[in-house]
Amino acid sequence: MRFVEAFLGTSLLAAGTVLSLGLGVGAQTRPGPAPEGPLELAANLARLRDAALTSDYAWRQVAYLTQNIGPRLAGSPQAEAAVNYVAEELRRLGLEVTLQKVMVPHWVRGEEKAELTIYPGHVEGTVQKIVLTALGNSAATPAEGIAAEVVVVNDLDELAALGRDKIAGRIVLFNVKFDQRMAEAGAEQPPTARPVAYRRRGPQEAARLGAAAALIRSIGGANYRLPHTGAGPRAGIPSAAVTAEDAELLAHLTQQGRVVMHLGADAADLAGRRELQCHRRSQGQRKSGRNRHRLRPS
C-alpha cells in the first residue's frame, strides 16, 4: 500500500476504522438485502461489522492522533509523526506499507491578537480584547499590526451593496450565525453549510473590495468564547475566526457608532521564513508561488 498523499495519511487509519463503525451501525439499524457475492465475502463483512460494534479500536486511534500527537497542519512535525504512526500501525496489522516523499502546502500559525481601541462609550486608556484565531492560509499583518474601522455584514449581498468606498481599508466581519434550532431539528442540509461557505468566500470577496482584513464568526453551537477556525483559499489579506460572543459585541457596537480594531497576526511571516529554509533543502522541486515543505518519513 502506498501513501502518495502523505498528509492524508494522518487521518487514513481513523477514517477507515470510523467508517467500519458506521457500516456496522448502518447494518444494525437499517437492514437491507443480503450482500451479493461469495459466501466467504458475506461472512467477512459480518465479522467486520461485529468487530466494529464491539471494539473501541477506532476511537483509541482517533484519540491518539488528536490528543497525543496533537494538531497536524500540513508540513508540520506532528503531521510527519502522524504519517509514521499510521504506517507502523498498519504494518502491525500485517499490511505492507511504503512511504514516499511528497511536497505539501506549508502554512504556519503564529501569534494572534486583537483589541478594540475606539468604540462608543470607550473609556480612555483602555481596550477591549477580541478573541480570535487565524484561518488557515491567512496572510500576515505588518509587524506593527493593522488599525482599521470595523464593518459588520450579514451576507455577501450586504458586502456588495456597501461597495469599495465603504469597504476599502476596513476590517470586515461576516456575522453569519450557526442555526442551532436547525441542528437540533436534524435538518437535511447541515446547519454549518452556509457559514462554512463564508469561511471560504468571505475573505476573497472582501479582498476584492480592498478590505484590510476579514473576520468570520466562529461556526458551531458551543461557544464559551472559544474561536473555531478552519481553512480557506489564499485571499492575500489577514483573515481570522472570532468567537460568537465577540461577533455579537462587534455587531452591537457598530450599530452605535465607529469601532476601530487593532489586529496583529504573524502566521505568514513565520511561513515565509520556513519557505526559505525549505527552498535551500529542495532547490528546483518547489512549485513557483506555493509555500511548500518536504516531508521525510523514515
Cβ atoms 102, 5 nearer than 8 A:
yes
Count Cβ atoms below 10 Å from residue 18 Cβ, excluding itself: 16
Of 148 and 58, the structure prediction assigns the larger pLDDT to: 148
Q: What is the pLDDT of residue 105?
A: 83
Q: Cα–chain-centroid distance for residue 46?
A: 36
Over residues 20-40, the pLDDT tens digits come to 444 444 444 455 555 556 899
Q: What integer is the mean pLDDT of 283-297?
A: 37
Q: How confident is the model at residue 269 (pLDDT cuts 50, 70, 90)?
A: very low
Residue 249 has pLDDT above 80, yes or no: yes
- For the chain, give the percent of residues with pLDDT over 90: 56
Q: What is the pLDDT of residue 277?
A: 34
Q: What is the pLDDT of residue 106?
A: 86
Q: Structural domain boundaries of the chain?
A: 2-105, 112-265
Of 296 and 191, the structure prediction assigns the larger pLDDT to: 191
Of 27 and 95, the structure prediction assigns the larger pLDDT to: 95
Q: What is the pLDDT of residue 223?
A: 73
Measured CA to CA, the distance from residue 181 to residue 207 in angstroms comes to 32
Task: Tell me the fold of 112-265.
Answer: Glucose Oxidase; domain 1 (3.50.30)
Q: What is the pLDDT of residue 159?
A: 97
- Whether pTM > 0.85 for this model: the answer is no
Parallel, antiparallel, or unpaired: how do β-strands 2-3 and 98-99 relate?
parallel
Of 123 and 190, the structure prediction assigns the larger pLDDT to: 123
Highest mean pLDDT among 11-15, 143-147, 271-275: 143-147
H helix runs in the chain, sequence order: 9-29, 39-54, 57-63, 77-92, 156-167, 180-184, 193-208, 244-256, 267-281
Lowest mean pLDDT among 13-22, 71-80, 118-127: 13-22
The amino acid occupying position 21 is L
Q: What is the pLDDT of residue 74?
A: 86
User: What φ, ψ does residue 212 adopt, rounded to 5°?
Assistant: -80, -30
Of 5 and 223, the structure prediction assigns the larger pLDDT to: 223
Residue 1 has pLDDT above 50, yes or no: no
H helix runs in 168-243, sequence order: 180-184, 193-208
Over residues 56-76, the pLDDT tens digits come to 998 999 999 999 999 998 888
Measured CA to CA, the distance from residue 102 to residue 5 in angstroms comes to 7
Q: What is the pLDDT of residue 278?
A: 38
Closest CA to 8 of 108, 109, 100: 100
Cβ atoms 263, 257 nearer than 8 A:
no
Q: What is the pLDDT of residue 191?
A: 55
- Over its C-alpha atoms, the chain yields an Rg (Å, rounded) of 23
Lowest mean pLDDT among 114-123, 240-249, 271-280: 271-280
